[in-house]
Structure 1
Amino acid sequence: MKADAPSNGSGDAPDEAALNIRRIRSMLAIMFLLMTVYALYFGRDFFMPVILAFLLALTLTPIVRFLRKRGVPESISATLLVLFSVGFMTTAGYLLSGPAIDLINNAPTIGQQVSEKLNHLRRPFEKFMKISEQIGAMTEPTQEPGVSKVVVAQSGILSQAAGSVLSGVTSITIVFVLSLFLLASGTMFYEKIVQSFTRMSEKKRALRVVYDVEREISRYLLTVSLINAGLGVAIGLGLWALGMPNPMLWGAAAALLNFLPYIGALTNMLMVGVIALISFDSLAYAMLAPAFVLLCNIVEGQFVTPMVVGRRLEINSVAIFIAIAFWSWMWGFVGALMAVPLLVIVKVFCDHFDGLANIGNFLSAQQSAVEDEEDEDGDPAEDKAKIAA
């Protein structure tokens, strides 16, 4: 009996070809991702105001839709909303600029006062600080005689400030003008997306997905913005009742920083604690201000937002920290503020496509996994009915 020859036939060829195709697709996906990150990083002056305009338009879309049902044309409602946004931001910036500039100018004095208040806590560490200073002096290279240091002259501070102001004004103008066109155009933008498909079934599915994503994201952004505004008002009034200086500034900071989950609340609480420490004589009374800020953030994060927004759009903490770190590296503080809204957009988009369901599941909070386990432990007939639906 003859032994079977090793199989080198056509059966292995399709598997190898499919494997090569998968490898090529993976490499192309990685290259596309790297090129996208490269474009976003070096094209931040273009992409950042454009994305901000889309986020602002999505935030104001529910109001435009509500007024359209009452007979108000989209162009009129969009113009009024954008003008109101510009006026509100201009007024808020003007009112808060004075206390913010004073706080920045008095930063060295504030640091010295805090150091004096906490001087007794630093005494155990003074010996270690002196040792580190001596080590730093020993390791510093000595300058040889006859060798002079060369200092490169920096460009003028005024010219840098003027360039930054001009760039900021240009970006803000782009944000509001583009958001005005997006709001005033109504459904034209979505119609253009649908027209790119050929089959009627694909058009219907694309239209349903586009409207569902737009509706969920716009409601989320508007709701979260209103919740953050309410949080800022509550913190501002509470700090005013406690006698904190510039309570309006800290309320506005709380509303803005609350777009950064965990990090924003902690930052605002620390800043309020530092100012309260130098503003009040009693240490126990000074701790009331940061404690009140912490209480407001706990109530907002654990009760108000889950009850109003719902837990379906909750994002897991790991994804939030990664997104904040990534976008803050890309676009600084503005990018960090946009990190969570962009993450929610990605999650909602992934939930509407079966091929991206794994990404949406990864971005979901632990609560969704718990609900899935409860569904698996439930009635099998009920589960089959849900799957069939």
Structure 2
Amino acid sequence: MSDFPSPLPTPLPSTTAPGAAVSTLITRGRRKPGSSRSTRRISRHLRAIRISLTGMILLAVLYTVVLGKSLLVPLVLAAFIGLALNPIVVAAARVRFPRWLAAVIVMVTLNVGLVSAIATLSTPALNWFHEAPTAMRAFAPKIKPMTQQIEAASRATQNLVGGAVTRNAPQANAGFAFTAWDIVAGAPKVLASVLTVALLVFFFLVYGDEILRRAVEISPTFAYKRHTVSIVRSIQVEVSSYLLLTAAINVTLGLVTAGMLYLYGVPDPLLWGTVATVANFIPYVGAITTTTVLAVVGVLHFQEVGPALLPAATFAGITAIEGNLLTPMLQGRRSRLSPVAILLWLLIWGWLWGIPGALLAVPMLTCVKLVTAKLRGWEWFAHIISR
């Protein structure tokens, strides 16, 4: 044998000719534009189908919301009240206090307070309803000179533009009748709604954590369960703190308004303070409504224009301080909403549910913002409605 190593094997020549490789590349290059056009066409069709399905689902949801108003309004109201009162029950459970007993105490206290407030305010409210037409007729002669001047200016304007002056025929004053039969006829429906809300709140307080635990049990993995629990707990704490803080701010505003009206000598200050508290759950619109109501009450009670408009002007200043300084300082930036988003949301839910929808619109929008800020892929919506 030879001591020299054997030569390395030479590589075999490629079976594919260079011309064939070039022709293959050219063929692939020629096929790409057509395939890309077909892909874009398919993606456009899929996008159109997805948009159409989204619109149909949105219309179906709106129809369901309107159709199920009598069921959904008590459910949403009970959910908000349950979230607001849940920290109290949780704090009682931490000190080894039975959860059901804490829920019973909270509900009894809440119901006693509501019944006492209704019993205290129902009589002055009915008196105002009955006496308002008479007071307006008595006040009409006081503003007659002002209306005559406005009518004279209107006639002069019509003459300048060459139009005919139209006179409105006097209309008979419609009487306002509010009898005990109206209360008796509407009492069953009101009592059924109140009882439904009270039972739902009680069950939310007692079995809320158990429902959450059962929902977590069906999660596929432990990491998903832990992530779900952390998100739900954080949302629950933030929504509860927002609702409690908003309720405390509104109650404080009502007490300050009642004290201001008492100092000015306006009758039934607690009634108008309660109106201010409830109306302040509707931003902007609630303050404007309460200011208008106080202006009418002042005009009906006082003889001169200056003292008559003083309560409304003072309330406008109080709400300006509350809305621009107190509420932003206490709630921070996380719960602040865009005024455009608030007005659009009020229009939508006021159109769908009426007055209950207007009262629940802003709490719902705030909860939607807090929830979407925690969900992946929905942060854009929370950013859009933020201020």
- TM interval, shorter chain, is 0.7 to 0.9
State the Cα deviation string for residues 65-94 of structure 1 (Å, max 9, x = none): 222223322211111111111111111111
Letter in 1 for 2:58: L
Letter in 2 for 1:328: G
Letter in 2 for 1:88: G
Could you tell me which of 207, 223, 226 is aligned with 2:248? 226
Could you tell me which of 165, 171, 189 is aligned with 1:131? 165
- Residue 42, structure 1, aligned to residue 67, structure 2: yes
State the Cα deviation string for residues 93-145 of structure 1 (Å, max 9, x = none): 111111111111222223324433332321233254893446999xxxxxxxx
Structure 1: gaps (5+ residues): 138-156, 366-389
Could you tell me which of 329, 333, 345 is aligned with 2:351? 329
Contact 1:61 1:183 survives alignment (8 Å): yes
Partner Cα separation in structure 2 for residue 221 and residue 117 of structure 1: 45
- Report the Cα offset of residue 8 of structure 1: 6.3
> TM-score under structure 2 normalisation?
0.82
- Residue 235, structure 1, aligned to residue 257, structure 2: yes
SS in 2 for 1:311: coil
Structure 2 match to 1:165: 187
Structure 1 match to 2:305: 283
- Report the Cα offset of residue 362 of structure 1: 1.2
Contact 1:117 1:278 survives alignment (8 Å): no
Contact 1:74 1:186 survives alignment (8 Å): no
State the Cα deviation string for residues 336-360 of structure 1 (Å, max 9, x = none): 1101000001111111123111111
- Residue 199, structure 1, aligned to residue 221, structure 2: yes
How does 1:1-389 map onto structure 2 within 5 Å?
Answer: 9-127=34-152, 128=154, 131-133=165-167, 164-365=186-387
% identical aligned pairs: 28
Letter in 2 for 1:267: T
Contact 1:114 1:274 survives alignment (8 Å): no
State the Cα deviation string for residues 312-352 of structure 1 (Å, max 9, x = none): 21111111111112212222211111010000011111111
SS in 2 for 1:95: helix
* Greater displacement, 187-196 / 28-37: 187-196
Letter in 1 for 2:204: L
- Report the Cα offset of residue 228 of structure 1: 0.6
* Greater displacement, 91-100 / 185-194: 185-194
- Report the Cα offset of residue 7 of structure 1: 6.2
Partner Cα separation in structure 2 for residue 12 and residue 200 of structure 1: 44
Count of residue pairs the alignment pairs up: 345
SS in 2 for 1:354: coil
Structure 2: gaps (5+ residues): 1-25, 156-163, 172-178
Contact 1:74 1:185 survives alignment (8 Å): no
> TM-score under structure 1 normalisation?
0.82
Q: Which one has the largest radius of gyration?
A: 2
Contact 1:254 1:268 survives alignment (8 Å): yes
SS in 2 for 1:355: coil
SS in 1 for 2:354: helix
Structure 2 match to 1:386: none
Contact 1:328 1:334 survives alignment (8 Å): yes
Query: Please, what is the CA RMSD of the aligned residues?
Result: 2.6
SS in 1 for 2:76: helix
Partner Cα separation in structure 1 for residue 138 and residue 215 of structure 2: 59
Structure 2 match to 1:153: none
- Report the Cα offset of residue 186 of structure 1: 4.1
Contact 1:52 1:175 survives alignment (8 Å): yes
Change (3 A) 1:113 1:72: farther
Partner Cα separation in structure 1 for residue 139 and residue 338 of structure 2: 36
